Amino acid sequence: MELGDNVVNIIQEKITDPVPKKIPMVKSKKPIIKFFEPKEGSENSIIKIVGVNLDDLEYICLRDIKVKILKKNKRFIKEKGDFNSYDEYIIKPPSLKELNKECWQSLEKYKVLVWGYYNKLGLQIRTMEKGDMNMFYIYTDKKECPEKDRLTIPE
């Protein structure tokens, strides 16, 4: 394609499964964090946390910093042939400065645990995804450590 060429849009038929009018909410006695996405991003990214009974969580943290919930939605996920309804929270991760890890980023990517606190049972609720790395949000920002905070290597 070159500048000035005519572009012809072709309508593509997309066949999708019809979403039923009434989708059942997954039930659980305590809150569940099914997953969160993305797993990596910058301090300016938006993270979506999907789960059950998220309203029952007293707060959500990345590392030990409480985050503000920007928006609450419903997410419909097809599982085993049927659609299920989940809660979806949209949050913004704390900055590396708030985490006091700007210098860490000059060494390697910093990982923070994503969790919610369920006061009723005094539980820390983490993602149900398998694998240790699925529990962490990884910062991809590259920060330069301030001169005053840099480590000096003895001669």
- Give me the domains of the chain, ranges plus CATH numbers: 32-143 (2.60.40.10)
**Alpha carbons 81 and 83: distance in angstroms, whole number:** 7
- Which residues sit opposite 24 in a β-bridge? none
Write out pLDDT tens, residues 18-51.
666 677 778 888 898 999 999 999 888 999 999 9
pTM of the entire structure? 0.75
Q: Which amino acid is at 18?
A: P
pLDDT value at 67 more than 90: yes
Residue 54's SS3 state is helix
For the chain, give me the number of helices (H) and strands (E)? 1, 10
Token pair of 36 as six digits: 């969160």
Q: Which residues contact 64 (CB under 8 A, 6 or more apart)?
A: none
Q: How many whole angstroms separate alpha carbon 37 and alpha carbon 47?
A: 6
CA distance 138 to 63: 11
